[in-house]
Structure 1
Amino acid sequence: MNLLFKCVALLGLVLSISDFTLSTQAITKTNNIPPILKQCHKDDPNLNECLRRAIESMRANLSQGIPELMIPPCEPLKIPEIRITQNAGAIRMDSEYSNVIIYGLSNFTLRDIHVDPVTKRAICNLWFPLLKMTSNYLIQGKILLMPLMGNGTASSNFTDIDATLTMTMNGSGAAHSNGGKIGDIKVEFNIGGASVHLDNLFGGDPQLGSMMNKFINDNWREITAEIRPALGESIESILYGIANQLNEMYGLEKLLDA
């Protein structure tokens, strides 16, 4: 059952990431479950509370990272590159972000967790008061019919982030399947507030750059609504890949029988 809360903990690390390359190193399966994973038994009448305590016990380790769970240091979390391609709706653009640094991922509140041992379905709600991100960027396209292009540095703040992770462990999902071991992972999130600043827009034109930054910040809710589906799918794909790696290493069936 531990894999359920491992994926919940990992959600925080990818909430603001649209493309994160997983390690391709060879994975050696082992029967030794890491000591950091506090056991929660599926027959425990207080299973949800046990999982809550287990997640909270991992919080102090997130800053330095948890190598045995493939979680990198996350205060701050450093990502070499992120790529976003949006070709539907009112936003059509290609963008690349390098030297990405994210602050605040370990400062989450676990609002709720519910696990059904029979259906092997877990639902978890996390809340982040503030996430900060800085990076270099390269972007070209249109946003709400406005042309957008630039190459420089970017900084952004996101506040009041509510994220819900739903994970099915029975392999019945249509999108993902690996022999009946892992089902679907679904991520939904809402952002309460956002501020973004992009330097050197339109070749450094100060007037156009100022106007575009104001336009983005005035319309951040509409922009978020447009990119949410694509971002959610990317996060789900990342979590699914991590779950598969953990399954290869520790054996999902053993964890579910704990």
Structure 2
Amino acid sequence: MWKIICLLSAVNTAFAGVEKNFVNFGGFVCPREEKALGRCLRDALNTYIPQLATGVAEYGVPPCEPLLIPALSVHQTAGPFAVTSSYTDVTVQGPSTMRVKDVTVDSEQQEIVSKLYIPELKMKGNYKLSGQLLMLPIEGEGHFSGKYGDIDAVVTITLGRAARPSGPDALTCEALDVKFHIGHAALQLDNLFGGDGELGNAMNKFLNENWQKLSDELQAPLEEALREFLKPLADHAFGMLRADDVLGGP
């Protein structure tokens, strides 16, 4: 009997050691060591991201595609660009096709940095803009659509702690920042210059030929869309973890 008790005690001690060195992330058992944890989080996120289009019921994540952005404004006044624009009822398709290429965990800085690749994002909605592009006047109000492809994004998540009524602190996503590079883009703005077809067609051609020079104007709505898409995912994903498992602790 004493031998059995000693054996069970040894088994419990061994499992306690395993639990201390591993993190359970949505069914993925990940090592706590930072490099290994980053690789495991990458694999876990790549498993769940495609499900976001229709939602992940077991974690309370609603359908996220198409993503709706009710309204946003962009003010671009640097150098030869002086444009004020606003967008309403914007829908975005394609975020659930993204793949996580790399995840870096930095417990000392309380940050997680993820590198993503998105094959294509499609946006449509209503716009209103006025100003100058490369000394050319531009104004319009109407419907817009855009396609943006080969997007490499870097997502920086600032982590924090949230006390639970009982048990260890939960991990939280305090802030989420998105920066990315667009490989190619195509944009169509209807009703430019009050519906002047010739001027509108010429300006749309100019925009598509010079979209790289207008990247700040194009990126702002996309970065806002990705933040809206990724923040709920981060909130739910990191809410499953104990803060001590990632930020360090007993």
TM over 0.5: yes
Given candidates 51, 62, 72, the residue that maps to 1:61 is: 51
Residues in 2 aligned to 1:244 and 1:159: alpha-carbon distance in whole angstroms: 24
The answer for the alignment partner of 1:197 in structure 2 is 188
2:207 counterpart of 1:216:
yes
2:140 counterpart of 1:157:
no
| Structure 1 residue 204, shift from structure 2 partner | 0.3
| Structure 1 residue 187, shift from structure 2 partner | 3.3
Residue 127 of structure 2 aligns to which amino acid in structure 1? Y
**163 and 69 in structure 1: CA distance in 2 versus 1, 3 angstrom threshold:** farther
Q: How does 1:41-60 map to 2 (within 5 A)?
A: 41-43=31-33, 46-60=36-50
Residues in 2 aligned to 1:236 and 1:76: alpha-carbon distance in whole angstroms: 12
TM-score when normalising by structure 2: 0.68
The answer for the alignment partner of 2:168 in structure 1 is none
SS of aligned partner of 2:97: coil
Residues in 2 aligned to 1:114 and 1:255: alpha-carbon distance in whole angstroms: 15
Given that residues 32 and 245 in structure 2 are in contact (C-alpha distance below 8 angstroms), is that contact kept between their aligned partners in structure 1? no
**77 and 250 in structure 1: CA distance in 2 versus 1, 3 angstrom threshold:** same
| Bigger radius of gyration | 2
| Structure 1 residue 142, shift from structure 2 partner | 1.5
Given candidates 60, 68, 81, the residue that maps to 1:78 is: 68
| Structure 1 residue 101, shift from structure 2 partner | 1.2
| Structure 1 residue 236, shift from structure 2 partner | 9.9
**95 and 255 in structure 1: CA distance in 2 versus 1, 3 angstrom threshold:** farther
2:102 counterpart of 1:115:
no
Q: 1:218-239: per-residue Cα shift (whole Å, max 9, x none)?
A: 11000005665x6798689879
**Greater RCO between the two (CA within 8 Å, min separation 6)?**
1
Q: 1:168-201: per-residue Cα shift (whole Å, max 9, x none)?
A: 5489xxxxxxxxx978755331101000001110
The answer for the alignment partner of 1:88 in structure 2 is 78
RMSD of Structure 2 on Structure 1 (CA): 3.9
**146 and 109 in structure 1: CA distance in 2 versus 1, 3 angstrom threshold:** same
Q: 1:138-172: per-residue Cα shift (whole Å, max 9, x none)?
A: 1112222211111111111001000112345489x
Richer in helix (by share): 2
Q: How does 1:166-245 map to 2 (within 5 A)?
A: 166-169=156-159, 186-225=177-216
Work out the percentage of aligned pairs sharing the same amino acid. 34
TM-score when normalising by structure 1: 0.66
| Structure 1 residue 62, shift from structure 2 partner | 0.7
SS of aligned partner of 1:89: coil
Richer in strand (by share): 2
Given candidates 126, 145, 151, the residue that maps to 1:136 is: 126
Given that residues 70 and 90 in structure 2 are in contact (C-alpha distance below 8 angstroms), is that contact kept between their aligned partners in structure 1? yes
The answer for the alignment partner of 2:11 in structure 1 is none
Residues in 2 aligned to 1:232 and 1:133: alpha-carbon distance in whole angstroms: 9
| Structure 1 residue 44, shift from structure 2 partner | 6.9
SS of aligned partner of 2:45: helix
| Structure 1 residue 253, shift from structure 2 partner | 3.5
**170 and 61 in structure 1: CA distance in 2 versus 1, 3 angstrom threshold:** closer
Where in structure 1 are there 5+ consecutive unaligned residues? 1-33, 172-180
Where in structure 2 are there 5+ consecutive unaligned residues? 1-23, 162-171
2:95 counterpart of 1:105:
yes
Residue 88 of structure 2 aligns to which amino acid in structure 1? S
Residues in 2 aligned to 1:63 and 1:232: alpha-carbon distance in whole angstroms: 17
**How many matched pairs?**
215
| Structure 1 residue 246, shift from structure 2 partner | 7.0
